Amino acid sequence: EPEVTQTPSHQVTQMGQEVILRCVPISNHLYFYWYRQILGQKVEFLVSFYNNEISEKSEIFDDQFSVERPDGSNFTLKIRSTKLEDSAMYFCASRPGREQYFGPGTRLTVT
């Protein structure tokens, strides 16, 4: 069964550094998403992406964040100038229709 994959599984970075989280959505899916989950808290929507552009973003997704689909397979989330409060699990998801398929997540730790 096709799966959404994410790399790396765990990323440790220092405050102020830039990180890029990578996702490979399922190949025939057209809609892509990033969510995050701070430890012990609920899953939060960050951004949705369709037809090579952002279709919706949350208040969390400010100028510090950006997304890109650089080729036909990868979908990336860039976080500039990381802060301690950016530490969380970041999930990528994709969907063909209504059902969203989530990846295993990248645990980002900002020290």
Partner 1 sequence: LAKTTQPISMDSYEGQEVNITCSHNNIATNDYITWYQQFPSQGPRFIIQGYKTKVTNEVASLFIPADRKSSTLSLPRVSLSDTAVYYCLVARQGNQGGKLIFGQGTELSVKP
Q: Which stretch binds partner 1 (CB under 8 A): 11-19, 59-67, 68-76, 90-98?
A: 90-98
Cα(103)–Cα(111) distance, integer angstroms: 24
Q: Is 104 in the site for partner 1 (CB under 8 A)?
A: yes
> Is 21 in contact with 77 (CB distance < 8 Å)?
yes
Among 44, 66, 69, 76, binds partner 1 (CB under 8 A): 44
Per-residue string for binding with partner 1, 45-74, x by CB under 8 A? x--x-x----xx-x----------------
For residue 67, list its beta bridge partners: 77
Q: What single-letter amino acid sits at 64?
A: Q
Q: Which stretch binds partner 1 (CB under 8 A): 12-20, 60-68, 70-78, 103-111?
A: 103-111
Q: Is 34 helix (H, G, I), strand (E, B) or coil?
A: strand
Phi and psi angles of residue 59, each rounded to the nearest 5 degrees, phi first: -65, -25
Binding positions for partner 1, rule: CB under 8 A: 4, 31, 33, 35, 42-45, 48, 50, 55-56, 58, 89, 91, 93, 95, 98-105, 107
